[in-house]
């Protein structure tokens, strides 16, 4: 996956938690602390997270 592609891929809170090996509550805390940015398309929608940001927190490479 290229850097550009990873920047546009969005994942759910559950998927972000799974990728980081933490709970969804921890993801909420990371958002509250400003460590991870959530994206909402409407105020009522479920939050999404940039895969690039999640991978950066995990220390994983974003692509080959």
* Phi, psi for 16 (deg, rounded to 5): -60, -45
Selection from 16, 24, 2 nearest residue 53 by Cα: 16
pTM of the model: 0.80
E-strand ranges in 1-64 read 10-12, 48-50
1-57 pLDDT tens trace: 555 566 689 999 999 999 999 999 999 999 999 999 999 999 999 999 999 999 999
Residues paired with residue 39 on neighbouring β-strands, in sequence order: 48
Q: What is the spatial distance between Cα 39 and Cα 21, in angstroms, rounded to a whole number?
A: 21
| Res 64 pLDDT > 50 | no
- Indicate the pLDDT class of residue 60, thresholds 50, 70 and 90: low
Statement: residue 59 has pLDDT above 90: no
Long-range pairs, 23-32, Cβ under 8 A, ≥24: 30/57
What residue ranges define each of the domains in the chain, with the CATH number in brackets? Answer: 3-58 (1.10.1660.10)
pLDDT above 70: residue 62: no
């Amino acid at each position: 996956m290229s850097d550009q592609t990873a920047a546009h891929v969005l994942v759910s809170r559950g998927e972000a938690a799974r990728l980081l090996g933490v709970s969804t509550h921890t993801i909420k805390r990371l958002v509250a602390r400003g460590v991870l940015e959530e994206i909402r398309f409407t105020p009522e929608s479920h939050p999404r997270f940039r895969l690039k940001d999640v991978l950066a927190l995990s220390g994983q490479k974003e692509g080959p």
